[in-house]
Chains A and B, each alone.
Chain A
Amino acid sequence: MDLARLPNDKKLQLCRWYFKVGCLLLPFVWAVNAIWFFKEAFMKPPYDEQKQIKKYVLMSAVGAIAWVAVFAIWITVFQLQRVSWGATGDALSFIVPLGRA
């Protein structure tokens, strides 16, 4: 899809749609939205729908970053604490490592 060929109202529609889909616990869609529409929101000369697009891009970006932060914290905690959690740690593991704690 070439954004340059799209009319502005369609751009807004598309950006909003991506944001809404991202709300279904799909942070990767938010990340795509934020990157894809970044130029439209912040670098193109102003047009009517740009303010709204800017809002969705910002919200998508913040949402995606929040997800990344949450994941990073969880992964760090899990990797460091799995062994000390014992049975819970094993139950949470998809692949239990062989030959070590």
Chain B
Amino acid sequence: MASFNFLVLLLIFSFCRSGNLQRLHEKIYSSIEGGAACFRRLNGTHQTGCSSADNGAVGVVHMIKDVTDAHWLVENATAGPYMVVVSTALFYDVFDLLFKQPELIAGILLYDNATKSAPQFSQDMSCPNDYSAAEGSSCSAGGVVWNPKGTGLLRRDIPFPIFYLPESRSQEIDKIDECYQRYNSDKNNQKGKPLCSVQLHSFMFAAVNTEVCLRRSASSALLTPTKVCDPLGDYNVYYSLFPRTKDTKNKKVTLVTARIDTASLFDGVSPGAASSVVGMVTLLTAATTLSQMIPIADSNLYDENILWTLFNGEAFDYIGSQRVAYDISKGTWPAAAPLTVDDINLHVEIGQIGGALNKLELAWPLYAFIPYTNVVPEINEFVNTLGSNLQNNISINTEFSTHFPPSSLHSFRRILKNETESAALPEVLITDHNAEFTNLFYNSALDGFDKIDFEYRNITVDGNGTFISTDALLANGTMKEVDTQVKIARLATAVSRTMYQRVAGKLYTGNITASAHLVDEMLYCFLRSQACRLIMAADYASSGGAEEKPPERAAPLYVGVATWASTPPVFAAHLLALLTGTALPVNRTQCDALNVPGFSQYWLRGWNHSGVCMQTTMNISAAISPAFIIEDYDLKSGVYSTWTESVWQAMWARVFVRASGAGAGAAAVAGALATLAAALLTYWLQRHAATIFTNAPQHSIVNDDAASGILRTVNC
């Protein structure tokens, strides 16, 4: 008997060997790789984004190849819920229909189609960041609707998961389509048939709103110390032309700002080419050019300083600029030599300027939004100077309006307006649109390098870090006047010359211009690959000498959670240090030991990768909303950004053929019948025990005081 049991055990074990189970699992499911999931974010009052159930969402595949497929789904489908597979090109036309009947939809698998590209795609609001707009500048209350193509899904609580498959993963869509054609094509007879299905798993831990999720993250009991959400946040980057210390801080400052971040519905996909990168690259290039025009040693000659600042987290109610404005109002920014509002002569924001860039149009019309209805001399002078410095098809028109596009100006006006003596901040915003956005992919997964017609030229940089001038590139035919790089370089030149005039009080007569070669490299770093020349040179030199190559894809420009620094602000900071700083002839230990007021030193890899000590005025500051640093802040008050991001454990998707359900039904019925038959048989056997078993005990004895019999066996 024992040996028989052992054999059975051995048999079970041999079946349960992981290899066999693995193979069975692989036979049933085929995983969908490379997808990016929509995830949950929360603010003071709501939850937004997507979550699947704890065990994922399962639905029958339904490929939407034109709008009639979507109509069939909401009107005639019988085997629901369905997993909708739709291309980005069709999404705008069908999403409304799908969201009207969420009970029919298990989830959406969105894919980017190489052959048919989307004409527009923006999941941000039609009035982005409207709740944080300056007083009287709300776009929903009668102003210009800036982003009319925005679906608003980024700020909506979506009742099912959504996954996004980029163009590079089209083979996954082919796989699903093949399975769909084979099993689901007989659309009107789907009920009771085995059907091709997809399971999406993106379960989010946080819920309700920021207040609830932060409370649960902090106070989780002894048993479950689970963090369910983190505040959004990262770092702002700033760099001043001249060092600012406590002694020199009475110099007036021109603040030039742009934003680093963008957003999208999907995790890890936020390219932001037209939304933010063009503005950021223009600022970085202009700062570099100005630092070449005015040597830092001349700082004593001038009374004006330029503070170049990059804000982060602007896509989520202006996290970075709200924090800077708040810190200025408290007299704590920049930490080394705080500014007051009256120190700021002028605030120029380089806003969204990438939407109108394309290789067919030579002209690049820009607009300067002045948030006043009357003429402010300081601002007008700046716009006129900038206009006179612009050349070659870039124009600038002035718009006087208290309704101005989404930008950090809103934060400054909200928070600092009452801090000034005149209650007027000299501000100007530069955009490439005077009404609605020219960028139809605002804050979306499709706002890639192709949207600004960027073609990388891959020109080598020599060991001294000298870049070929724009004019030389045009002369030798490497670039043309219509190229994005050239246009950005021209704008950066104009901005730096205008800033030169502000600092020096005279026209710039030298021949230093912003290099389209530098712009080319910078765009490549932020839009195509982190393994680029600039980042390789601007990275920290590792002590061992071994070079770790960064990944060959662009870093997502989403602000991320405040727990750690994301790559884009670190890149921007290092680029400023490398391109505007002064190389000191010291070794690494001396470099680390230096302590010069107003400066900091970074030991970077350098152009020939041998290590270089860069002395710079660049610094970083926290871009975490004031809401999370003010004690007892009322998260529902709506004064500051309150965005948090949910924690999740895993995101995956897989396709499989779901059984018709007939087999499962038959198994259940058979099980019930077998149980019933066994019960009847037992009952019958017991009734007739005496006749069946020759030595069976008498009926009466068995039943005598059964309870005490049981008790006897457990005698203590």
A residues in contact (CB < 8 Å) with B? 1-4, 39, 86-87, 90-91, 93-96, 98-101
Q: Are A91 and B207 in contact (CB under 8 A)?
A: no
User: Residue among A39, A86, A96 with the most chain B CB within 10 A?
Assistant: A96
User: Residue among B51, B207, B223, B228 with the most chain A CB within 10 A?
Assistant: B207
Among B221, B708, B716, contact of A4 (Cβ-Cβ < 8 Å):
B708
Minimum CB–CB distance for B633 against chain A, Å? 16
B residues in contact (CB < 8 Å) with A? 51, 54, 203-208, 212, 215-216, 219-221, 223-224, 226, 228, 707-708, 711-712, 715-716
Which residues on B sit within 8 Å (CB–CB) of A39?
707
Q: Are A99 and B715 in contact (CB under 8 A)?
A: no
Minimum CB–CB distance for A39 against chain B, Å? 8
Complex CA gap A93/B221 in Å reads 8
Which residues on A sit within 8 Å (CB–CB) of B54?
98-99
A99 and B711 in contact (CB under 8 A), knowing A87-B215, A90-B219?
A: no
Minimum CB–CB distance for A33 against chain B, Å? 15
Q: Are A99 and B224 in contact (CB under 8 A)?
A: no
Q: Are A91 and B219 in contact (CB under 8 A)?
A: yes
Complex CA gap A2/B705 in Å reads 13
User: DSSP class of B's interface residues: helix, strand, loop or mixed?
Assistant: loop
User: DSSP class of A's interface residues: helix, strand, loop or mixed?
Assistant: loop
A95 and B215 in contact (CB under 8 A), knowing A2-B712, A3-B711?
A: no
Minimum CB–CB distance for A83 against chain B, Å? 8
Q: Are B204 and A99 in contact (CB under 8 A)?
A: yes
Q: Are B224 and A1 in contact (CB under 8 A)?
A: no
Q: Are A95 and B708 in contact (CB under 8 A)?
A: no
Q: Are A94 and B223 in contact (CB under 8 A)?
A: yes
Which residues on B sit within 8 Å (CB–CB) of A2?
708, 711-712, 715
Which residues on A sit within 8 Å (CB–CB) of B215?
87, 90
Which residues on B sit within 8 Å (CB–CB) of A87?
215
Complex CA gap A99/B226 in Å reads 12
Complex CA gap A95/B715 in Å reads 39
Which residues on A sit within 8 Å (CB–CB) of B223?
94-95
Name 6 extra pairs, CB < 8 A, besides A1-B715, A86-B212, A98-B228.
A2-B711, A2-B712, A91-B219, A98-B203, A98-B226, A99-B205
Q: Are B716 and A1 in contact (CB under 8 A)?
A: yes
Among A1, A90, A94, A99, contact of B51 (Cβ-Cβ < 8 Å):
A99
Which residues on B sit within 8 Å (CB–CB) of A4?
708, 711
Minimum CB–CB distance for B598 against chain A, Å? 47
Which residues on A sit within 8 Å (CB–CB) of B203?
98-99
A99 and B207 in contact (CB under 8 A), knowing A90-B216, A94-B223?
A: yes
Please give me the residue from chain B that is nearest to A86 by CB atom.
B212
Which residues on B sit within 8 Å (CB–CB) of A90?
212, 215-216, 219
What are 16 A-B residue pairs whose CB atoms fall within 8 Å in the complex?
A1-B716, A2-B712, A3-B711, A4-B711, A90-B215, A90-B219, A93-B221, A94-B221, A95-B223, A96-B220, A98-B205, A98-B228, A99-B51, A99-B203, A99-B205, A99-B206
Please give me the residue from chain B that is nearest to A3 by CB atom.
B711
